[in-house]
Each structure stands twice: as structure tokens, then as C-alpha cells.
Amino acid sequence: MAEFKPPPGSILNRRTMPSLELAAALVTCLIFYAVYYSRLGMVRTFVAVAEAFLAGAVIAIGLLLLSPYTSDRLELLTPASQGFLLAAFPEKLLGLIALVYMMIRDRNEMSVLNTIGYGILIGAGFSFVENIAYAWIYGSQIVYLRLFSSVSMHLTSMGLMGFLLGLGYIRQRKRWLLAVLSFIIPFLLHGIFDFSILSGGKWNFTIPAHILIPVFALEAAISRSQTLPRKGDLQRDGIWFEEWALLDRQRGYEKWILRSTDQTRSTAPFLRLPPGPAKNAFALCILVLPILILIEPELIPLTVNITYSMYLSLFVLLPASIGVSILSIGSVNPNFFKGRLLRIPIVLDWEVFEEGIPAPVNSGISYELSGASLYLRGNLEESENRTIQFRFDRIASPAVNFGIVKLAGNSDSGQLIRIDRTAAGFSAFQRRYRARRLLWGLFYFFHFPGSEGFRKLFIKPRTITQTRRTYQPGDVVFLEGDPARRFYLVEKGKVQILRDTGTGPVALSTVEEGEIFGEMALVHGEERSATAICMTETILSSALSDHLESLIEANPEFASTLIRTLVKRLIHSEEAFLEKLRSLEVEDKGQWLHKEGPGENHIPDEEKGS
């Protein structure tokens, strides 16, 4: 490619370039470090922060001291070998060792957010020393591009290493997989970046992608880490990370189900307006530079001959990518990850059996069966000699033993259990469930023909009635004449339905566990036609009438059951009214006879004896 020769008179010449490069290295490191530090908000001592920064600097100094022993062989190596083997491999390996040391030192107080912060600090210290060394040693075109882009590359790749390593540290499963990925992914990002720099030519135009993609990935990692617990918090609560994630997904399942009924909308978007007016203003100022260069190419005169592709990369693509990177910091909304669901729920029904009792003693639903822990919605009482059985789509699991996990501040909406998966046939049942869940999820996600029929698998009475409350015996759920806005599901206990006939209440029906009542909620604007009173300690879950309409539309089996229940209650109500009328007739007849007294042909008792 022909060289681009800018006009003479440049302020950037061979004499002043090293000092300007040194200043650029200092300023660039400080800017990126300050922006990410404010984003992370690390609550660590100054000594811990300085130690991480110095660790990166020491790694860079050590590799620079070893560079004379490898410089003679550089000409024999390809750009790929130089980028991956001589640069990325030792830097990321030593960075991983330093990061592991800091994690072990902090132990229980370590959080994923802090491991990201330590990784960024190590990358900042490394890039600071490396850029100073490049500024004083080399005078090639590579220096111009590395001064700015290498800082972002080191910080983001080490930050992603910290995220994956910290996530593996707090998890109970897949630790080694995340540990391996924490090295491989930063290694590949670093190696591809150096390969593009060393190859030059058209590869220079890929530099913005090498900057922006890791920046956005790190932003998502930081936002996600703000919702994750610390290792010490998990140990204090006595749960695994997988169980914490399971509890966190419950909110996502509930939101997803309600959204599927078109009754609610997400209020937490993935992207948000980036916080920090000063940071945003600085990023916009940087974004102005490439626009000015494109309008007036002679705005920055150079005396150094560089290719036109290098000129565009240095003064157009690189400032634009740096400006976008700084502007994007903080743009990912952390609230997006709270209760966020990435897979659809396939609801399982569960029943608990006690030895010697044929009927189930407890029942309810669960949104997933993915591991050794499950979250059960419904009433579950702890007792010995009990087993649990699961069922979905007419497929039943073998009965397995289980234990309840005590949670601090647990609500009455459900309970966390750990099951014994060693029972014969249970692993096969779990594999079938996962396969069906994946298959049905794909059908539903891509809206294949017939996919709407899958809605009945997760739109059930127990899934859409998510407002839960406990009532004591004698508590009134609603009175006759109250506005009808909600319907109710009995999870535990009994509810009696009464109607006032003017002469006293009449018991119309008794609603037991697993049944719903309050069907007048279907008729908008109508009042309650009866009174509901709890007969025993009762747990009710309720939902709005619109949810009942969605349930009827999505679940034909439920609609059929509801019709049969309504007909049965109607017949029972008619029988109760007829019985009440008959008792009133007998009572009225007795009162009439008592009021009329003896007739004309009636002979008093006194006369009978005369």
C-alpha cells in the first residue's frame, strides 16, 4: 500500500515523540483506571489496591528483563507465534497466578466484583510499565497504536479473567471449567490483538473490534457481578452458589410467566444511559476528534511517514473506539440481571408421601429440576420417613429422599430442598426432563407451529397465583358485596363459602386444598355474591381476574376442570337453597299453626274429661 506523507512542520517529530508517548502512556492508564475504579466501587484498603497495581508492574518488568533473550529469535517467528506465545501466554499466565494469590489471601471476603477490580488493577500496572518501555525503546509505527489500544486490551482482558476466576471461586460446581476459561479467553483476546498489530495492513482496521468487544463484555460482567453474593455470605447462610442462583431465578420464572399472560412488562432494560456526566463529556470530546480528522485531514500534520491505513487507525478508528468504550462504561443495567430468566420454566408437580399413608401429605409445583437442589412452591412440612415424587407431562419420577435447607429470612412462598439423586431411575428421569425442556424451549422461542400449546406446561393455577397469605380460623377472605378483583387458590386448609338469605347464612360449599374460588372475579365490575371464611389455618395464593382469563385460554385442561367445578358448586348451591327453603316452609307452617290456635272442632282437654 502506498505511504501517506503528511505535510511538513509537524509538532510530532523524532525528538519529542518519546516524551509525548510517555505522557500519553501515563494519561491513558490513569483515565482508564479512574473510570473503572469509580465503576467498581471497590471497598478495599489502599495497600490492597496498590499491591494489585504493583503486581502487574512487576510482571511487566520481569518480562521486559527477559526480552533480550528472546529478541534474537523474533525474526524467525510468525506474527501469530509472537502474539500468542511470546506476548499473551506469559503475561496472562503470570497475571492468573497473581490474581489467584490475592483471592486466596482475601478468602471469605472475596467477591466477584473484587476479583474483577484486582484483575483491572493488574492490567493497569502491566500496561503502564509496558507502554513506558515501548515509548523509550521502540520508534516503530507499532508504538503509536499500542499506546492507547493496549491499555484497554490489558484492563478488559484481565477484568474478564477476574470475573471468570471469581465466579468459579464462589461456585460449588464447574470450578475447574471456569478456572480454565479464565485463562483461555483472556489469552485469546490478547493473542488476537497482538497478532493484528504485528500483521499490520488490513488487520489494523480490526483494532476497534478488539477494543469494543472486550469492553462491552466486561461491562456485562461488572453489572452481573453487582448482583452476586460473596463467598462468606454463602457460607453464613449455609447454601451453595447454585442454590442462591436457583432462588434468584425464581423471580425470573414468575416474571416470565406473568409476561407470557400479557399482564406485565419488563421495567429493567439491558442498556441504560451511562452515569457520570464528566466521563460522558470526556468521551464525547474524544469522539469529536475522528470527525474533525475526516473533515480536515491536514488538521494533524506529521513529519513521520506512515501508511494511510495506519493514519486512519491512529487518528480515526482508535479515538472513536476509545470514546465509545469510555462512553459505554456503566451502560449495562445491573437490574437487568436480577431475576433474569434465560430459559423457560417447565413446571413439575411434586407430591410428598409418608410411610404407611397411601395419599400424598403435601403437594405443589417446582419451576425446574436442574441439579441436586430444588425450590418447591407450596406447603411442605418437615418430617422423617418421607419421600418426594415429581411428575411432568404424565411422566413420573421414582420417589427419592430429600432434606429441607433452612434459609435465613425465608418467606412462606416455598422451600429449598436437596434431593438424593442416587435412587434408581431418577437420573434418567432428570435427563428426560432436561431434554424435553430444551426441545420445548426451542419450539416456543422460535414460535414453531403448535408451540402455543406448550403454554399449558407453565401457565397453571399455582404459577400465576403468586400473592401468598396465611389466614387463621375464622378469618374472612372477602364479604358478600365486596368488589370482585381477585381469585384464590387454596394451598393449605379449608374455606367455607356462605350466602346470606335474609334469615341467616347458608353454607354453599367447602373449598379444599388445590381448589380455587372467587370465580366472580371473571365478571369485571360485579360484586361478590357470597362470603368466604377460613375454617382452619389456611394458606391462600391469589391473582387478578385477568390472570384467570389467561389461564383459561392457555390451559384447556384447567378450563374443563373449572367448568366441572362450577357445575358441581352450582348443583350444591341449589341443593343447599332447596334444603333451606324446605326448612323455612316447615318453620313457617309450625308458626302458622301456633298462631291460629285450636279450631272449631277442637275439644279442649278439660271437656274431654267431663
Q: Are 406 and 238 in contact (CB under 8 A)?
A: yes
What is the predicted pLDDT for the residue at 236?
85
Q: How far apart are CA 413 and CA 532, in angstroms?
A: 22
Look at phi and psi of residue 353 and say left if phi exceeds 0, alpha if psi is from -120 to 50, else beta: beta
Average pLDDT over residues 208-237: 86
Q: Are 170 and 228 in contact (CB under 8 A)?
A: yes
CATH architecture of 348-453: Beta Barrel (2.40)
Given the C-alpha cell 431411575, which residue does it identify?
Answer: 425
Q: How far apart are CA 158 and CA 52, in angstroms?
A: 12
Q: Is the pLDDT of residue 163 over 70?
A: yes
CATH architecture of 463-588: Sandwich (2.60)
Q: For residues 150 and 496, which has the higher predicted lDDT (pLDDT)?
A: 496
Query: Looking at the chain, how many residues does it have?
Result: 610
Domain locations along the chain: 14-238, 348-453, 463-588
Q: How far apart are CA 282 and CA 316, in angstroms?
A: 16
What is the predicted pLDDT for the residue at 224?
87
Q: Taking Cα atoms as reference points, which of 220, 199, 216 lies closest to residue 208?
A: 216
Q: How far apart are CA 256 and CA 253, in angstroms?
A: 5
Q: Are 398 and 424 in contact (CB under 8 A)?
A: yes
Reduced to 3 states, what is the DSSP secondary structure of residue 133? Answer: helix
What is the predicted pLDDT for the residue at 450?
66
Q: What is the pLDDT of residues 331-383, one digit of tens each?
A: 777 666 664 545 667 788 888 988 878 888 888 888 888 888 999 987 777 77
Q: Are 274 and 333 in contact (CB under 8 A)?
A: no
What is the predicted pLDDT for the residue at 37?
67
> What confidence category does residue 65 fall into, taking pLDDT thresholds of 50, 70 and 90?
confident
Q: Is the pLDDT of residue 555 over 90?
A: no
Q: Is the pLDDT of residue 599 over 60?
A: no
Q: Which of 45-49, 430-434, 547-551 has the highest mean pLDDT?
A: 430-434
